[in-house]
Structure 1
Amino acid sequence: MGSEKKSRLPAIVATVVAVPVAVVAGIAVFNAIAPEADADPAREDLSPVSVTVPELSEDAAVVCLALTATAPDAAGGLHARPVEGGAGAAEAVMAYGDPATVATCGVEPVAVEDTALVYKLNGVCWYSDEAGLEWTTLDRQVPVGVSVPEANEQPVDVLNDLSTVIADKVPASAESPTGCA
Protein backbone atom coordinates (compact mmCIF):
# COMPACT_ATOMS: atom_id res chain seq x y z
CA MET A 1 0.00 0.00 0.00
CA GLY A 2 2.92 2.38 0.64
CA SER A 3 4.25 1.86 -2.90
CA GLU A 4 0.79 2.62 -4.27
CA LYS A 5 0.90 6.15 -2.69
CA LYS A 6 4.39 6.72 -4.10
CA SER A 7 3.26 5.82 -7.63
CA ARG A 8 0.41 8.39 -7.48
CA LEU A 9 2.64 11.20 -6.28
CA PRO A 10 4.27 11.89 -9.68
CA ALA A 11 0.82 11.97 -11.31
CA ILE A 12 -0.49 14.44 -8.74
CA VAL A 13 2.59 16.67 -9.11
CA ALA A 14 2.28 16.55 -12.91
CA THR A 15 -1.40 17.55 -12.67
CA VAL A 16 -0.69 20.40 -10.24
CA VAL A 17 1.92 21.77 -12.64
CA ALA A 18 0.08 21.07 -15.93
CA VAL A 19 -3.28 22.66 -15.07
CA PRO A 20 -1.95 26.18 -14.33
CA VAL A 21 0.37 26.00 -17.36
CA ALA A 22 -2.59 25.05 -19.58
CA VAL A 23 -4.71 27.89 -18.15
CA VAL A 24 -1.95 30.45 -18.77
CA ALA A 25 -1.39 29.12 -22.30
CA GLY A 26 -5.14 29.28 -23.00
CA ILE A 27 -5.35 32.89 -21.83
CA ALA A 28 -2.33 33.83 -23.95
CA VAL A 29 -3.84 32.22 -27.06
CA PHE A 30 -7.23 33.88 -26.43
CA ASN A 31 -5.64 37.32 -26.06
CA ALA A 32 -3.64 36.80 -29.24
CA ILE A 33 -6.65 35.94 -31.39
CA ALA A 34 -9.46 37.90 -29.69
CA PRO A 35 -10.50 41.17 -31.36
CA GLU A 36 -9.40 44.39 -29.72
CA ALA A 37 -11.87 45.92 -27.28
CA ASP A 38 -11.74 49.16 -29.32
CA ALA A 39 -13.16 47.34 -32.34
CA ASP A 40 -16.29 46.43 -30.37
CA PRO A 41 -19.15 48.57 -31.75
CA ALA A 42 -20.74 48.58 -28.32
CA ARG A 43 -17.71 50.57 -27.08
CA GLU A 44 -17.75 52.97 -30.02
CA ASP A 45 -18.45 56.57 -28.98
CA LEU A 46 -21.90 57.36 -30.34
CA SER A 47 -22.42 60.60 -28.42
CA PRO A 48 -23.66 63.68 -30.33
CA VAL A 49 -21.22 65.34 -32.72
CA SER A 50 -20.97 69.15 -32.74
CA VAL A 51 -21.40 70.39 -36.30
CA THR A 52 -21.70 73.62 -38.22
CA VAL A 53 -25.02 74.01 -39.98
CA PRO A 54 -24.90 75.63 -43.42
CA GLU A 55 -27.30 78.42 -44.33
CA LEU A 56 -29.84 76.88 -46.68
CA SER A 57 -32.44 78.30 -49.01
CA GLU A 58 -35.97 77.03 -48.46
CA ASP A 59 -35.68 74.67 -51.47
CA ALA A 60 -32.29 73.34 -50.35
CA ALA A 61 -33.63 72.80 -46.80
CA VAL A 62 -36.42 70.60 -48.19
CA VAL A 63 -33.93 68.53 -50.20
CA CYS A 64 -31.57 68.19 -47.23
CA LEU A 65 -34.40 67.11 -44.95
CA ALA A 66 -35.40 64.43 -47.46
CA LEU A 67 -31.79 63.23 -47.46
CA THR A 68 -31.24 63.16 -43.71
CA ALA A 69 -34.67 61.65 -43.01
CA THR A 70 -33.76 58.62 -45.13
CA ALA A 71 -30.09 58.41 -44.16
CA PRO A 72 -28.83 54.91 -43.42
CA ASP A 73 -28.27 53.74 -39.82
CA ALA A 74 -24.73 52.82 -40.83
CA ALA A 75 -22.39 53.85 -43.64
CA GLY A 76 -19.22 51.98 -44.48
CA GLY A 77 -19.70 49.87 -41.36
CA LEU A 78 -19.80 52.99 -39.17
CA HIS A 79 -22.82 53.56 -36.94
CA ALA A 80 -24.86 56.77 -37.20
CA ARG A 81 -24.39 59.36 -34.48
CA PRO A 82 -26.68 62.22 -33.47
CA VAL A 83 -25.59 65.74 -34.33
CA GLU A 84 -25.92 69.02 -32.46
CA GLY A 85 -25.13 72.53 -33.53
CA GLY A 86 -28.26 74.58 -33.39
CA ALA A 87 -31.44 74.78 -35.37
CA GLY A 88 -31.45 72.58 -38.43
CA ALA A 89 -28.43 70.47 -37.50
CA ALA A 90 -30.24 67.14 -37.73
CA GLU A 91 -32.02 68.26 -40.91
CA ALA A 92 -28.80 69.01 -42.82
CA VAL A 93 -25.95 67.04 -41.25
CA MET A 94 -25.25 63.34 -40.65
CA ALA A 95 -22.39 61.79 -38.68
CA TYR A 96 -21.01 58.25 -38.63
CA GLY A 97 -18.44 56.43 -36.51
CA ASP A 98 -15.76 57.41 -34.03
CA PRO A 99 -13.94 59.60 -34.91
CA ALA A 100 -16.90 61.00 -36.82
CA THR A 101 -17.22 61.10 -40.58
CA VAL A 102 -19.53 64.08 -41.15
CA ALA A 103 -21.78 64.52 -44.19
CA THR A 104 -23.24 68.00 -44.68
CA CYS A 105 -26.00 68.79 -47.14
CA GLY A 106 -25.91 72.26 -48.65
CA VAL A 107 -22.18 72.95 -48.69
CA GLU A 108 -20.65 75.47 -51.07
CA PRO A 109 -20.23 74.00 -54.56
CA VAL A 110 -16.74 73.13 -55.70
CA ALA A 111 -15.51 74.36 -59.07
CA VAL A 112 -13.24 71.88 -60.83
CA GLU A 113 -11.63 71.74 -64.24
CA ASP A 114 -13.16 69.34 -66.76
CA THR A 115 -9.91 67.36 -66.59
CA ALA A 116 -9.99 67.02 -62.77
CA LEU A 117 -9.95 63.56 -61.29
CA VAL A 118 -13.49 62.74 -60.17
CA TYR A 119 -15.06 59.60 -58.76
CA LYS A 120 -18.45 58.19 -59.75
CA LEU A 121 -19.79 56.13 -56.86
CA ASN A 122 -23.25 54.57 -57.02
CA GLY A 123 -24.51 57.18 -59.44
CA VAL A 124 -23.01 60.23 -57.69
CA CYS A 125 -19.98 62.18 -58.90
CA TRP A 126 -17.48 63.16 -56.17
CA TYR A 127 -14.39 65.34 -56.04
CA SER A 128 -11.81 65.03 -53.28
CA ASP A 129 -8.92 67.06 -51.99
CA GLU A 130 -5.47 65.51 -52.42
CA ALA A 131 -5.49 64.00 -48.94
CA GLY A 132 -8.85 62.29 -49.55
CA LEU A 133 -10.31 63.86 -46.41
CA GLU A 134 -12.80 66.31 -47.93
CA TRP A 135 -15.27 65.05 -50.54
CA THR A 136 -17.95 67.06 -52.37
CA THR A 137 -20.63 66.03 -54.83
CA LEU A 138 -20.32 67.70 -58.23
CA ASP A 139 -23.50 66.63 -59.98
CA ARG A 140 -26.24 67.50 -57.46
CA GLN A 141 -28.50 70.56 -57.28
CA VAL A 142 -27.66 70.80 -53.58
CA PRO A 143 -24.00 69.84 -53.01
CA VAL A 144 -23.19 67.39 -50.22
CA GLY A 145 -19.79 67.49 -48.52
CA VAL A 146 -18.24 64.68 -46.51
CA SER A 147 -15.36 65.22 -44.08
CA VAL A 148 -13.49 62.00 -43.38
CA PRO A 149 -11.06 61.72 -40.45
CA GLU A 150 -7.57 60.41 -41.23
CA ALA A 151 -8.29 57.37 -39.06
CA ASN A 152 -10.86 56.16 -41.61
CA GLU A 153 -8.74 54.19 -44.06
CA GLN A 154 -11.61 53.46 -46.46
CA PRO A 155 -13.65 56.62 -47.07
CA VAL A 156 -15.04 55.11 -50.26
CA ASP A 157 -17.02 52.60 -48.17
CA VAL A 158 -18.86 55.45 -46.45
CA LEU A 159 -19.27 57.38 -49.73
CA ASN A 160 -20.71 54.33 -51.50
CA ASP A 161 -23.40 53.90 -48.86
CA LEU A 162 -24.22 57.62 -48.75
CA SER A 163 -24.20 57.88 -52.56
CA THR A 164 -27.14 55.52 -52.82
CA VAL A 165 -29.42 57.76 -50.74
CA ILE A 166 -27.95 60.96 -52.24
CA ALA A 167 -28.71 59.72 -55.77
CA ASP A 168 -32.25 58.94 -54.65
CA LYS A 169 -33.03 62.12 -52.67
CA VAL A 170 -30.86 64.95 -54.05
CA PRO A 171 -31.79 65.84 -57.64
CA ALA A 172 -29.02 65.80 -60.23
CA SER A 173 -27.89 69.16 -61.58
CA ALA A 174 -28.13 70.05 -65.24
CA GLU A 175 -24.37 70.61 -65.49
CA SER A 176 -21.43 68.63 -64.20
CA PRO A 177 -17.77 68.10 -65.18
CA THR A 178 -17.15 65.83 -68.17
CA GLY A 179 -15.61 63.17 -65.95
CA CYS A 180 -18.97 62.75 -64.23
CA ALA A 181 -20.76 61.51 -67.35
Structure 2
Amino acid sequence: MDEITSSSESPAGAGTSDDAGAPRRDRANRSAALLATLVAVPVTVAVAGFTFAKLTPDAPAAEPGPAATSAGPRSTAPVEMAAPRLAERPATVCRALTSQLPSTVRDLAQRPVTAGPEQNAAYGDPALTIACGGAEPEPGDTDDIWVVNKVCWYAAEGPDATVLTTLDRETAVRVTVPRTYGAALQWVSPISDVVIASVPSGGDAPGGCTG
Protein backbone atom coordinates (compact mmCIF):
# COMPACT_ATOMS: atom_id res chain seq x y z
CA MET A 1 0.00 0.00 0.00
CA ASP A 2 1.23 3.31 -0.95
CA GLU A 3 1.73 5.80 2.05
CA ILE A 4 0.04 9.06 1.53
CA THR A 5 1.63 12.09 3.33
CA SER A 6 -0.38 15.25 3.74
CA SER A 7 1.25 18.30 2.23
CA SER A 8 0.05 20.36 5.20
CA GLU A 9 2.35 18.61 7.61
CA SER A 10 5.72 20.23 8.03
CA PRO A 11 8.79 18.10 8.07
CA ALA A 12 10.15 17.41 11.54
CA GLY A 13 12.36 20.25 12.76
CA ALA A 14 11.32 22.58 9.93
CA GLY A 15 10.23 25.39 12.39
CA THR A 16 13.16 25.16 14.82
CA SER A 17 15.32 27.98 13.40
CA ASP A 18 12.37 30.48 13.14
CA ASP A 19 11.13 29.76 16.66
CA ALA A 20 14.61 30.23 18.10
CA GLY A 21 15.12 33.61 16.32
CA ALA A 22 11.74 35.15 17.29
CA PRO A 23 12.55 35.83 20.99
CA ARG A 24 15.85 37.46 20.01
CA ARG A 25 14.08 39.81 17.60
CA ASP A 26 11.40 40.66 20.20
CA ARG A 27 14.04 41.49 22.80
CA ALA A 28 15.90 43.67 20.30
CA ASN A 29 12.68 45.50 19.37
CA ARG A 30 11.77 46.08 23.03
CA SER A 31 15.26 47.40 23.82
CA ALA A 32 15.08 49.81 20.90
CA ALA A 33 11.61 50.99 21.97
CA LEU A 34 12.75 51.46 25.57
CA LEU A 35 15.78 53.46 24.46
CA ALA A 36 13.58 55.65 22.26
CA THR A 37 11.21 56.22 25.20
CA LEU A 38 14.06 57.17 27.53
CA VAL A 39 15.29 59.72 25.01
CA ALA A 40 11.83 61.06 24.17
CA VAL A 41 10.63 61.62 27.76
CA PRO A 42 13.24 64.26 28.71
CA VAL A 43 12.77 65.99 25.38
CA THR A 44 8.99 66.02 25.86
CA VAL A 45 9.35 67.37 29.39
CA ALA A 46 11.73 70.07 28.21
CA VAL A 47 9.42 71.08 25.37
CA ALA A 48 6.43 71.13 27.69
CA GLY A 49 8.30 73.22 30.22
CA PHE A 50 9.39 75.68 27.56
CA THR A 51 5.85 75.93 26.19
CA PHE A 52 4.41 76.47 29.70
CA ALA A 53 6.96 79.17 30.39
CA LYS A 54 6.04 80.94 27.15
CA LEU A 55 2.32 80.71 27.86
CA THR A 56 2.53 81.71 31.52
CA PRO A 57 2.24 85.51 31.91
CA ASP A 58 5.16 87.23 33.49
CA ALA A 59 4.79 87.62 37.23
CA PRO A 60 4.26 91.25 38.18
CA ALA A 61 7.34 92.90 39.57
CA ALA A 62 7.28 93.38 43.29
CA GLU A 63 6.23 96.86 44.27
CA PRO A 64 9.07 98.81 45.84
CA GLY A 65 8.84 99.28 49.54
CA PRO A 66 8.50 102.75 50.98
CA ALA A 67 11.71 104.69 50.90
CA ALA A 68 13.24 105.82 54.15
CA THR A 69 12.42 109.42 53.23
CA SER A 70 8.84 108.79 52.06
CA ALA A 71 6.11 110.63 53.91
CA GLY A 72 4.06 108.69 56.40
CA PRO A 73 0.32 109.06 57.08
CA ARG A 74 -0.84 112.67 57.31
CA SER A 75 -3.54 113.89 59.65
CA THR A 76 -6.65 115.51 58.22
CA ALA A 77 -8.16 116.32 61.62
CA PRO A 78 -9.14 119.92 62.42
CA VAL A 79 -6.23 122.13 63.46
CA GLU A 80 -6.65 123.90 66.77
CA MET A 81 -6.59 127.67 66.27
CA ALA A 82 -7.78 130.65 68.27
CA ALA A 83 -10.42 132.96 66.83
CA PRO A 84 -10.45 136.30 68.66
CA ARG A 85 -13.45 138.51 67.99
CA LEU A 86 -12.75 141.00 65.20
CA ALA A 87 -14.24 144.38 64.54
CA GLU A 88 -16.56 144.66 61.56
CA ARG A 89 -14.04 146.00 59.07
CA PRO A 90 -11.21 143.52 59.84
CA ALA A 91 -13.76 140.69 59.89
CA THR A 92 -14.91 141.66 56.40
CA VAL A 93 -11.34 141.83 55.11
CA CYS A 94 -10.46 138.46 56.65
CA ARG A 95 -13.51 136.81 55.12
CA ALA A 96 -12.37 138.11 51.74
CA LEU A 97 -8.91 136.64 52.35
CA THR A 98 -10.04 133.18 53.48
CA SER A 99 -12.60 132.91 50.68
CA GLN A 100 -9.82 133.28 48.11
CA LEU A 101 -7.25 130.98 49.65
CA PRO A 102 -6.34 127.98 47.45
CA SER A 103 -7.21 124.38 48.32
CA THR A 104 -3.48 123.61 48.48
CA VAL A 105 -0.39 125.64 49.31
CA ARG A 106 2.30 124.08 47.16
CA ASP A 107 1.85 120.38 48.00
CA LEU A 108 0.01 120.85 51.30
CA ALA A 109 -3.74 120.16 51.29
CA GLN A 110 -6.06 122.39 53.24
CA ARG A 111 -7.39 121.12 56.57
CA PRO A 112 -10.33 122.27 58.69
CA VAL A 113 -9.76 124.44 61.77
CA THR A 114 -11.39 124.20 65.20
CA ALA A 115 -12.48 127.84 65.26
CA GLY A 116 -12.91 130.86 63.02
CA PRO A 117 -12.81 129.44 59.47
CA GLU A 118 -13.73 132.95 58.31
CA GLN A 119 -10.38 134.22 59.60
CA ASN A 120 -8.19 131.10 59.92
CA ALA A 121 -6.87 128.40 57.60
CA ALA A 122 -4.50 125.46 57.88
CA TYR A 123 -2.58 123.23 55.49
CA GLY A 124 -0.71 119.96 55.78
CA ASP A 125 0.65 117.99 58.74
CA PRO A 126 2.39 119.44 60.65
CA ALA A 127 0.05 122.33 60.05
CA LEU A 128 1.03 125.48 58.25
CA THR A 129 -1.48 128.05 59.53
CA ILE A 130 -2.82 131.36 58.31
CA ALA A 131 -4.47 133.74 60.78
CA CYS A 132 -6.06 137.04 59.79
CA GLY A 133 -6.79 139.98 62.08
CA GLY A 134 -5.12 141.96 64.84
CA ALA A 135 -2.36 144.52 64.89
CA GLU A 136 0.82 144.29 62.88
CA PRO A 137 4.11 144.01 64.82
CA GLU A 138 6.71 146.74 65.09
CA PRO A 139 9.98 145.10 64.11
CA GLY A 140 13.18 146.47 65.51
CA ASP A 141 15.54 144.86 63.00
CA THR A 142 15.08 145.42 59.29
CA ASP A 143 17.16 142.30 58.59
CA ASP A 144 14.04 140.29 59.44
CA ILE A 145 11.86 142.15 56.92
CA TRP A 146 11.25 140.57 53.54
CA VAL A 147 9.22 141.54 50.49
CA VAL A 148 7.64 138.56 48.75
CA ASN A 149 5.43 139.16 45.70
CA LYS A 150 4.97 142.82 46.72
CA VAL A 151 3.88 141.96 50.27
CA CYS A 152 6.09 143.02 53.17
CA TRP A 153 6.60 140.29 55.80
CA TYR A 154 8.32 140.31 59.18
CA ALA A 155 9.92 136.96 60.06
CA ALA A 156 10.11 135.90 63.72
CA GLU A 157 12.11 132.72 64.22
CA GLY A 158 10.90 130.27 66.86
CA PRO A 159 12.22 126.90 68.03
CA ASP A 160 9.67 124.93 65.99
CA ALA A 161 8.36 127.38 63.41
CA THR A 162 8.84 130.71 61.68
CA VAL A 163 6.01 133.22 62.04
CA LEU A 164 5.69 135.67 59.14
CA THR A 165 3.41 138.68 59.65
CA THR A 166 2.47 141.35 57.13
CA LEU A 167 3.69 144.91 57.78
CA ASP A 168 1.98 146.85 54.99
CA ARG A 169 -1.67 145.74 55.15
CA GLU A 170 -4.85 147.22 56.59
CA THR A 171 -5.12 144.23 58.91
CA ALA A 172 -2.41 141.77 59.82
CA VAL A 173 -2.03 138.35 58.23
CA ARG A 174 0.16 135.82 60.09
CA VAL A 175 1.56 132.67 58.50
CA THR A 176 3.19 130.08 60.75
CA VAL A 177 5.52 127.73 58.88
CA PRO A 178 6.89 124.65 60.72
CA ARG A 179 10.67 124.31 60.47
CA THR A 180 10.29 120.85 58.91
CA TYR A 181 9.16 122.59 55.69
CA GLY A 182 12.47 124.37 55.18
CA ALA A 183 12.79 128.01 54.09
CA ALA A 184 9.66 129.79 55.29
CA LEU A 185 9.64 132.53 52.64
CA GLN A 186 8.98 130.06 49.82
CA TRP A 187 5.68 129.11 51.45
CA VAL A 188 4.30 132.66 51.61
CA SER A 189 4.76 133.26 47.89
CA PRO A 190 1.33 131.88 46.84
CA ILE A 191 -0.26 133.39 49.96
CA SER A 192 1.14 136.83 49.09
CA ASP A 193 -0.81 136.79 45.83
CA VAL A 194 -4.07 136.27 47.76
CA VAL A 195 -3.11 138.98 50.27
CA ILE A 196 -2.55 141.47 47.43
CA ALA A 197 -5.96 140.61 45.95
CA SER A 198 -7.99 140.71 49.17
CA VAL A 199 -6.31 142.76 51.93
CA PRO A 200 -5.83 146.47 51.15
CA SER A 201 -2.54 148.11 51.99
CA GLY A 202 -2.68 150.56 54.87
CA GLY A 203 -0.54 153.00 56.82
CA ASP A 204 3.13 153.67 56.50
CA ALA A 205 5.23 150.59 55.91
CA PRO A 206 8.65 150.27 57.61
CA GLY A 207 11.72 151.28 55.64
CA GLY A 208 12.68 147.67 54.98
CA CYS A 209 9.48 147.11 53.02
CA THR A 210 10.76 148.78 49.87
CA GLY A 211 11.44 146.12 47.28
TM bucket normalised to smaller: 0.7 to 0.9
Q: Deviations over 1:145-170 (max 9, x none)?
A: 11122322243343111111111111
> Does the 8 A contact of 1:113 with 1:177 survive in 2?
no
Q: Secondary structure of 1:135's partner?
A: strand
Offset at residue 114 of structure 1 (A): 6.0
Partner residue of 2:91?
61
Structure 2: unaligned runs, 5 residues or longer:
1-36
- Pairing 1:6–2:42 present: yes
Task: Give the CA deviation at 1:2.
Answer: 2.0
Offset at residue 111 of structure 1 (A):
0.8
Amino acid at match of 1:151: T
1:135 corresponding residue in structure 2: 164
CA distance in structure 2 between the partners assigned to 1:46 and 1:128 by the alignment: 27
Residue 115 (structure 1) shift = 3.0
Displacement after TM superposition at 1:67 (Å): 0.6
TM-score by length of 1: 0.76
Query: Which residue type is aligned with residue 109 of structure 1?
Result: E
The alignment partner of 2:153 has SS state of strand
* RMSD, aligned CA: 3.0
Aligned-residue sequence identity (percent) comes to 31
Deviations 1:61-111 (A, max 9, x none): 1111111111111112211111122xxx01110111111111000144211
Alignment of 1:19-168 (within 5 A): 26-27=61-62, 30-31=64-65, 36=70, 38=72, 44-85=74-115, 89-113=116-140, 115-131=142-158, 133-168=162-197
Opposite residue 31 of structure 1, the aligned amino acid is G
Query: Counterparts of 1:169 and 1:56 in 2: how far apart (Å)?
Result: 17
Change (3 A) 1:32 1:70: closer
Instruction: Give the distance between the partners of 1:137 and 1:84, measured in 2 at CA.
Output: 23
CA distance in 1 between partners of 2:149 and 2:128 (Å): 19
What SS class does the counterpart of residue 69 from structure 1 fall into?
A: helix
| Cα shift readout 1:7-40 (whole Å, capped 9, x = no counterpart) | 546x95xx99xx9xx969x326x3377x9463xx
Structure 1 match to 2:13: none
Helix, strand or coil at the partner of 1:84: coil
> Structure 1 residues 84 and 32 mapped into 2: Cα distance closer, same or farther (>3 Å)?
closer
Q: Determine whether 1:176 maps to 2:205.
A: yes
CA contact (8 A) 1:114 1:177 kept: no
